Amino acid sequence: MTDVELIERYRMPRNKILEVVDMIKTSIETPTFRSHAIPALLQVLVSLRYYAKGDFYSEVGDLHGISRASVSRCVMRVSHAIVRDIDNIKFPTTKAELSKIKKGFYNIAKVPNVIGAVDGTLIPIIAPKENEPVYVCRKGYHSLNIQAVVGHEMRFTNLVAKFPGSVHDSFMFCNSELGYFFEETQVDGWLLGDSGYALKGYLLTPKLNPSSPAEEKYNKAHAKTRTIVEQAFGVCKSRYRCLHKTGGCLPFTPERSAIVVTAVFKLHNKCIDDKLPLPDLIDEFIDNGDNHNVRDIAPANVQTLRERIIQRFA
C-alpha cells in the first residue's frame, strides 16, 4: 500500500507505524514463535485498524488472517503496551513550555495567561455487568466520561479516563489529580472551562447572563479559545472511530475500555507531534456538551480576577 492508503486504513504512514512497533515491540512480542505467535507488526496493524474503524472483530480478523479472539487479545495487548511505553501526555510545568502555550492561546482570541482548555467527552462502551446504571450518560447510552486538557495545538496534556458516563464534568475535575494539583499548587496561568465548571482562581469560566458589551466580548473570546478542546475531541474521534458511536461501542469492561481510550489519545498526540494530516472534521463528532450550568459564585478575589480580564475587552 501507499502511505496515503495506509493513512486511510491505519491513520499512519508506513514509517510511523514502524515507529510504534519499535516503541512497544518488547512488550508485545513473545520470545519464540511457538503456537503460531502473532508477530509484533501484525499485532500493531490489527490494533490500529480497530482503533481507526471500530469494525467488528470478525472483519478486522478476516482482513489480517487471524481469529476474532486473536483480534481481541491483540487490541488489549497493544493498548496496554502503548499506555505503558509511550509517555506523551504530560501537563506543562517548565517556564518555556508554559510560555509557548500561553502565546499560542493568546493568538487565538487575546485571552491572556491560558495554559490549557479543559472539558469532558463521552465514549460509548458496552453495558457493564456491575453498577450498570451509573454508566448511563445524559444522552441515554452507556459510556465513560473522559476528562482532558489540551494545549493550543490540539495536543492532550492531561487525561482522566476512569469516571462513569453519569458523572458531571465539574465533579470529575474536582476529584482528579489535576484538580488536586491546582488546589495545592500556585500555578502561573489558568485553565478555560465551560459553564459546567465552577469559577476558580485557576479556572476561568464564561460570565453567565452577560450585561455589558465587555462581558459579551469576553464570553465570545472565551468560547473561541476554549473550543480548541472540543475540536481536539472531534479530531481524535474522526481519526479513531472506535471512540465514536459511528464505530459502535467499546466491547470491553470499563477498566479495559479506559486502557483503550488512553492508548488512542496517546496515538492522537503522536499524530499531532508527527504533523500528520488532520482528518476531515465532522460536525457531529464535536462534543459541545450540554452540562447544567454551575452557579456563578466564587470568592471576591476570584470574581475580581475575572472582572479584570473582562475589562481588557471593554
> 245: burial class by Cβ within 10 Å (0-12, 13-18, 19+)?
middle
Give one DSSP letter per residue of 205-254, joined into a string.
-PPSS--SHHHHHHHHHHHHHHHHHHHHHHHHHHH-GGGSGGG--B-S-H
What pLDDT is recorded for position 291?
Answer: 57
The total of structural domains in the chain comes to 2
State which of 85, 114, 146 marks the end of a domain: 85
Task: Name the CA radius of gyration of the chain, rounded.
Answer: 21
Residues 165 and 103 in one domain: yes
Residues 122 and 161 in one domain: yes
Q: How far is CA 165 from CA 35, 143, 146, 253, 261, in A?
A: 40, 5, 8, 13, 14
Residues 165 and 17 in one domain: no
Tens digits of residue pLDDT in 270-304: 999 999 998 876 555 555 555 566 767 788 899 99
Residues 80 and 196 in one domain: no
State which of 85, 117, 132 marks the end of a domain: 85
Residues 257 and 109 in one domain: yes
- Does residue 52 lie in a domain region? yes
Residues 19 and 106 in one domain: no
Residues 121 and 34 in one domain: no
Round to whole Å and give the CA distance between 32 and 24.
17
- Does residue 90 lie in a domain region? no
Per the confidence metrics, is the pTM higher than 0.85?
yes
DSSP state for residue 34 in the 8-state scheme = G
Region 61-69 average pLDDT: 93
Residues 22 and 129 in one domain: no
Residues 287 and 188 in one domain: yes
Region 149-176 average pLDDT: 95
Tens digits of residue pLDDT in 79-136: 999 999 999 999 998 999 999 999 999 999 999 999 999 999 999 999 999 999 999 9
Angle, helix 40-53 to helix 57-64, in steps of 10 degrees: 140
- Does residue 135 lie in a domain region? yes
- Does residue 12 lie in a domain region? yes
Q: Over pLDDT 90: what percentage of the chain? A: 82
Q: Can you tell me which residue has the cell 464570553?
A: 219
DSSP state for residue 118 in the 8-state scheme = E
In this prediction, residue 33 has a pLDDT band, given cuts at 50, 70 and 90, of low
Round to whole Å and give the CA distance between 191 and 181.
13
Q: How far is CA 149 from CA 18, 86, 140, 142, 262, in A?
A: 28, 18, 25, 23, 13
Region 149-167 average pLDDT: 96
- Does residue 262 lie in a domain region? yes
In the predicted model, is pLDDT for residue 180 greater than 90?
yes
Region 5-17 average pLDDT: 96
- What is the average pLDDT value for the chain, to the nearest integer? 92
Residues 144 and 262 in one domain: yes
In this prediction, residue 231 has a pLDDT band, given cuts at 50, 70 and 90, of very high
In the predicted model, is pLDDT for residue 23 greater than 70?
yes
Residues 50 and 105 in one domain: no
In the predicted model, is pLDDT for residue 30 greater than 90?
no
What pLDDT is recorded for position 285?
Answer: 56
Within 8 A by CB and 6+ apart from 224, the residues are 108, 109
Residues 197 and 259 in one domain: yes
DSSP state for residue 79 in the 8-state scheme = H
3-state helix, strand, coil in the chain (%, to 5): 55, 10, 35
Choice among 48-62, 210-224, 273-287 with the minimum mean pLDDT: 273-287
State which of 57, 85, 113 marks the end of a domain: 85
Tens digits of residue pLDDT in 182-213: 999 888 899 999 999 999 999 999 998 889 99
Domain that holds residue 117: 95-312
What pLDDT is recorded for position 187?
Answer: 87
- Does residue 228 lie in a domain region? yes
Angle at 240 between CA 288 and CA 287, to 5 degrees: 5
